[in-house]
Amino acid sequence: MEPTDHLFRRESGRMVAAITRIFGIHNLSLAEDVVQDAFCRALEVWPFRGVPENPSAWLMATAKNRALDVLRRARTARTFAPEVGRLLKSEAALAPLVDELFAANAIKDGLLRMMFSCCHPLLPEEAQVALILHILCGFSVSETAAAFVTTHAAMEKRITRAKKALAKSKRLFDVSAGVEFSSRLPAVHRALYLLFNEGYHGASAETAVRVDLCREAMRLTALLIEHPLGAISTTYALAALMCLDAARLPARVDTSGNLSSLFDQNRSQWDQELINEGLKFLQLSTSAPEITEYHVEAAIASVHARAPRAGETDWNTIVSLYDTLTTLRSSPVVALNRAIAIGQNQGPEQGLEEIRSIPNPNRLTAYPFYWAALGEFELQLARYDVAREHFATAVALARNPMERGFFKRRVAATQIPNPV
């Protein structure tokens, strides 16, 4: 990755967070304007003067100056952040205050405050995740809509509503208050988990978009780990699960651009560095007795990561981990994955049996991988016609061309009677 890759996106979140601390959450859009201004400035100047040595510092300094301008011009007419309101009254205190909030540590702190603020309990989860992506990761409304495979209009509505709710909350979340921090933390975990999953399992056809989402979720999780109150067992478990899953990303699409299943992936392409990091985090996550779904999912990912070949996977352990996961958070998708693991462990008949016994499969039947799982087991049992039908259903339900291509190849696999 180039050092300047996605520089603007990243800086956008940092600058908006820093300025909002001064302007106040109710002036979020004003903060966003200041940041947009800084980018415009770069666009005007950099082509002629060249990209500055430290582009990120240049942008920060520009945004800082713009923010000061706004404060000087409007501090009598507008109310800014209640936390700093008093200081804004004195011209002498203004510049030092702004300097202080733009210091490296304060910016990190600002990002955390914004992240916790976005996870406001009054906001639905999908709005929290959209806000994080939009505000902290610098995705425009259109880009956020594309990442979540929804329309621009729907996303605009969701984000506008969420911003209004945020503005009403009056204050940015205070990350220095221990009790509040700990009670909001699970919602933040959940939002980052959903953001990561959107990248990992989401419907977007763009590999780059999906990798971006995973990377952003990991970056924000790392930020949590750096905070003394954030570095708890569950955060480590979440980080472990992200690292271990993300390690497989390079192998998910093969050299011809085709989706490759966990069973067929070239495991030498797995990112060993991320695996090691994930295992380290997993180790750290055992520091507390509590077990969350993130602990279990990380443990499942670690079993896959440790298997040099798909055939050497410890399915026994995976099945029992899915049993635990079911007690923590039962969902049709968890049940499906558990059934697939049982099928790997005890044979296709048993796998089919398990899939058929999933209660309330209604939601699953719209999920193409449900039909693909049925198809795989039928294929293993050499019932080619049934398998073909299942894969054809998966083709019809595929959410993007890459999935469609994948299921089509599975349909084709049923044409050659070549029992495994």
Partner 1 sequence: MSEFTYLFRGRNTSGSPEEMQRHLEKWVAWMKDLGASGHIKEQGHPLEGTGKVVRGAQKIINDGPYAEAKDVVGGYMVIEARDLAHAAEISKGCPILDVGGSVEVRPVQKLNM
User: Which stretches of the chain bind partner 1, using CB under 8 A?
Assistant: 4, 6-9, 11-12, 36, 39-40, 42-51, 138-140, 142-143
Give yes or no for a contact between 169 and 81, defined as CB atoms under 8 angstroms apart.
Answer: no
Minimum distance of partner 1 from residue 131's CB (angstroms): 15
Euclidean distance between CA atoms 26 and 20, whole angstroms: 8
Place of tokens 């100056």: 65
**Residue 101, CA distances (Å) to 16, 241, 269, 332 in order:** 12, 33, 42, 46
First CA to last CA distance, the chain:
40
Minimum distance of partner 1 from residue 35's CB (angstroms): 8
Minimum distance of partner 1 from residue 388's CB (angstroms): 42
Joined together, the tokens standing for residue 83 give: 């936390």
Q: How far is CA 325 from the centre of its chain?
A: 20
Closest CB to partner 1 among 51 and 122? Answer: 51
Closest CB to partner 1 among 214 and 397? Answer: 214
Give yes or no for a contact between 241 and 297, defined as CB atoms under 8 angstroms apart.
Answer: yes
Closest CB to partner 1 among 42 and 355? Answer: 42
Minimum distance of partner 1 from residue 140's CB (angstroms): 3
Closest CB to partner 1 among 39 and 367? Answer: 39
* Contacting residues for 46 by C-beta, under 8 A, at least 6 apart: 52
Euclidean distance between CA atoms 420 and 36, whole angstroms: 57
Minimum distance of partner 1 from residue 366's CB (angstroms): 31
Instruction: Identify how many contiguous H helices and E strands the chain contains and give both numbers.
Output: 21, 0
CA dihedral angle for residue 278, residue 281, residue 286, residue 288, rounded to 10 degrees: -140
DSSP state of 132: I
Minimum distance of partner 1 from residue 126's CB (angstroms): 20
Minimum distance of partner 1 from residue 142's CB (angstroms): 7
Minimum distance of partner 1 from residue 7's CB (angstroms): 6
Minimum distance of partner 1 from residue 23's CB (angstroms): 19
* Contacting residues for 132 by C-beta, under 8 A, at least 6 apart: 115, 118, 119, 191, 192, 195, 220
- Long-range contacts, stretch 349-354, CB < 8 angstroms, 24+ apart: 349/377, 349/381, 351/377, 352/377, 352/378, 352/381
Closest CB to partner 1 among 4 and 418? Answer: 4
Element (H, E) at 265: none
Closest CB to partner 1 among 51 and 412? Answer: 51
Closest CB to partner 1 among 4 and 283? Answer: 4
Minimum distance of partner 1 from residue 49's CB (angstroms): 8
Q: What is the CA radius of gyration of the chain?
A: 24
Three-state secondary structure call for residue 253: strand
Closest CB to partner 1 among 16 and 238? Answer: 16
Closest CB to partner 1 among 49 and 329? Answer: 49
> How crowded is residue 290: how many other Cβ atoms within 10 Å of its Cβ?
11
Helices 91-101 and 104-118, packing angle to 10 deg: 80
* Contacting residues for 152 by C-beta, under 8 A, at least 6 apart: 141, 142, 145
Closest CA to 337 of 384, 297, 309: 297
